[in-house]
Amino acid sequence: MYRRVELLDLLMGTLASLFPQVCTAVLMPHRSVQGRPIIALRIRAGTGNRTRSVLIIGGMHAREMMNPDAIIELQVDLVLAYVNNTGITYGGRSWSNSDIKLMLETQDIWMLPCANPDGREYCFNVDDMWRQNRRDNPGPFEGVDVNRNCDIVWGVTVGFTSCNPMDETYVGPDRFSEPESRNIKDFCDAQAIDVFLDVHSYSELVLWPWGHAPTQTTKPNQNFLSLATGTCAPLQPPNHQEYMPSADQQHYQTVARQIGDDIRLVRGRNYIPEPLNDLYGTSGTSTDYVYSRHIANTALHKTYGFSFETGPLVLHPNGSPNVPESFHPADPTLIKDDTKAGILSLLQKQDLCAMDFLGASRPETSSGLDRIRKFRDEQLAKTEAGRELIALYERVQIPLLGLVLADESLTSEAMSLLEISTKLVENEETVLSTRDVERGLAFLDALASRTTSKDLLTDLETVRKQLEASADKSVGNILEQLVGTSSASTLSKKSTKRRPKK
Amino acid sequence: MKQVKKKSKAESKKSQSARKKTSKKPKSASAKTPSEGLTLATTESPPNVRFSATIHVRNVTDPTWFERLAIDRVPDPTGAIRALVTPADCVRLVNEGFEVRLDAAYPVQPLNPALIETKESFQRWMDEKLQTAKRAK
């Protein structure tokens, strides 16, 4: 069943009214083309410091009707799990009460379930395959594709993007001409959003930038800033490849793969992780735009943009695609469970950094954390071995953080080790003492004794061996090993730098 | 193209409410439409039917030929270039030399009322969800 816009808004108003310490209903800066209010819900729990913000939107394309419903159902599930101190389960994937607590108390979660309310209502009342907003264009055709209207290579007819109002992928008369897309820009201007997710249908994909061209990681000067826009012509040069730092590419790949893994646990659906351009070429999309902001203007906050394509392609008995059933199936319940699991996975895997979390109460560690991030982005991400280390860290950080926070003594020890680590990286001449290594090993043993996960134990054992091998070596030597040798030897640095922080 | 015309006629009454008045001033041919084929279509009315179709080209000299189509592409299990096209799209694409194979027609119509949640059922769902909740402190 699909809910009209008024019911979506009613639910968010009810949550804000019943749980004011957790939920706040927020009116977006711009009403829709037809004057409807566009409402988001902020979920924020606890009183601790927040270092992260995430924005999740749905319903940009009106006929992709499952996603606004999935997002408000997730709002209810998150709030109830928090206030009742329970977990959340979708099919075969569960999140514990401490997982939920961690998600809600460490970040601001903004959810805008229906970014294009006019279009959604038009689907209910007139045309269930309507995609755009309800802009009254000059001429007989209505609507602008609000997910082609953002200021990133706008007005370039790459792939499935059109400057013709008769087309469903019409880019609009100007960049951000539409209030529905302008809301995304103004919201990101007002809030430092770390992670953005735009939920679409269908195809079962987890996507990330770039959409307008294939990605390359070696030529920073070949980027969108040099491309002509508003041309209503194909991309020039046609063989353009868009730059992305290898660290970001690695990050996107890792997180998207993890999200796919979590969705698969729900009921076995296989969401493929890939760049937007692998699906087909696009320009002016919200996901590309939010990620491009910090490149176009270095003063702006960096936002990682993701997109889902939820639900499978449904076929007619004769094997041809059943497009309406793919966009709004008669029973979307299971697809919504996949979607909600994917969003929770993103909230957990992408938007939490264990080091940030532990370091939040120790300001003296912030410069050391910055140095570690810089090393990660500028050196580790450029080698195979380094990328394996980053993947390992991102794989284990959340489960280990859960173990650490469940035990006060472990939390205290983790913070002390974090402080030691951030001091170590101040000077590459510093030698990692045997005493510090033994302390780190004891910490690893304590973690290992608290888990039965074979994968986690394997990772802990790998780190353990490398930490042992790092005793009495200078930080510089360890760093060189991390970047330049095989994954086996590089783990030693990872362990000394990162493991204690969990 | 017979199918296009036949279906369009059959469904035309259904979609009257969806149409804007065609007496509105047609879009200028000098607007941002790089192809003459598009100019042809801008004088058409909004569609009253869409088709799921695959689009083909006889001699592939440019492997990215499909990126010039300006259509609303949807996934296809065989990797074909599949799109939702309007009758006007069909005319334009054929005029541009493409082959358009239609395999399903979808009339422009509101969402099936059986799929729309009523206020009553929504209220029941919400009450059921919220009844066990403790109030946040």
ipTM of the complex: 0.78
Q: Which of residues 326-385 of A touch B (CB under 8 A)?
A: 326, 328, 330
Tens digit of pLDDT for each residue in A208-219?
999 999 999 999
> Residue A126 is nearest to which of B18, B45, B50, comparing CB atoms?
B18
Q: Which of A91-100, A465-474, B38-47 has the lowest mean pLDDT?
A: B38-47
Q: Which of residues 54-73 of B touch A (CB under 8 A)?
A: 64, 67-73
Q: Which of residues 113-132 of B touch A (CB under 8 A)?
A: 115-117, 119, 121-122, 126, 129-130, 132
pLDDT bin (cut points 50, 70, 90) of residue B58 is confident
Query: Do A23 and A36 form a contact (C-beta atoms < 8 A)?
Result: no
Give the number of residues written for chain A: 502
Give the gap in angstroms from C-alpha B76 to the nearest C-alpha of chain A.
7
| First-to-last C-alpha distance (Å) of chain A | 43
> Residue A139 is nearest to which of B26, B77, B88, comparing CB atoms?
B26
Question: What pLDDT is attached to residue A157?
Answer: 86
Tens digit of pLDDT for each residue in A341-374?
999 999 987 656 777 777 766 777 777 777 787 7
Contact call for A21 and B41, based on CB within 8 A: no
Query: Do A229 and A155 form a contact (C-beta atoms < 8 A)?
Result: yes
pLDDT bin (cut points 50, 70, 90) of residue A224 is very high
Contact call for B75 and A123, based on CB within 8 A: no
> Residue A2 is nearest to which of B24, B116, B132, comparing CB atoms?
B116
pLDDT bin (cut points 50, 70, 90) of residue A70 is very high
Angle at A36 between CA A30 and CA A37, to 5 degrees: 55
Q: How far is CA A79 from CA A86, A92, A244, A351, in A?
A: 10, 21, 36, 18
- pLDDT of A493 over the 50 cut: no
Query: Do B100 and B81 form a contact (C-beta atoms < 8 A)?
Result: no
Residues with Cβ within 8 Å of A363's Cβ and at least 6 positions away in sequence, in order, are: none
Q: What does residue A53 show for φ and ψ, rounded to 5 degrees? A: -140, 145
Token pair for A471: 């005793």
pTM for the model stands at 0.80
Q: Which residue has the higher pLDDT, A287 or A399?
A: A287
| A320: exposed, middle or buried (Cβ count in 10 Å: 0-12, 13-18, 19+) | middle
Question: What pLDDT is attached to residue B45?
Answer: 67
Token pair for A453: 């996960």
Measured from the Cβ of residue B118, the count of other Cβ atoms closer than 10 Å reads 13
Token pair for A164: 């013709």
Output the average pLDDT for chain B.
Answer: 69
B101 touches chain A (CB under 8 A): no
Q: Which residue has the higher pLDDT, A418 or A205?
A: A205
Residue of A83, A271, A301, A81 lying closest to A192 (CA atoms): A301
Give me the mean pLDDT over the B82-110 stretch: 89
> Residue B70 is nearest to which of A138, A140, A162, comparing CB atoms?
A162
Output the average pLDDT for chain A.
Answer: 89
Residue of A273, A251, A206, A271 lying closest to A395 (CA atoms): A251
Tens digit of pLDDT for each residue in A233-267?
888 998 999 999 988 888 898 889 989 999 999 99
Give the gap in angstroms from C-alpha B52 to the nearest C-alpha of chain A.
7
Residues with Cβ within 8 Å of A231's Cβ and at least 6 positions away in sequence, in order, are: A155, A156
Question: Which residue intervals of B96-131 are DSSP H helices?
Answer: 119-130
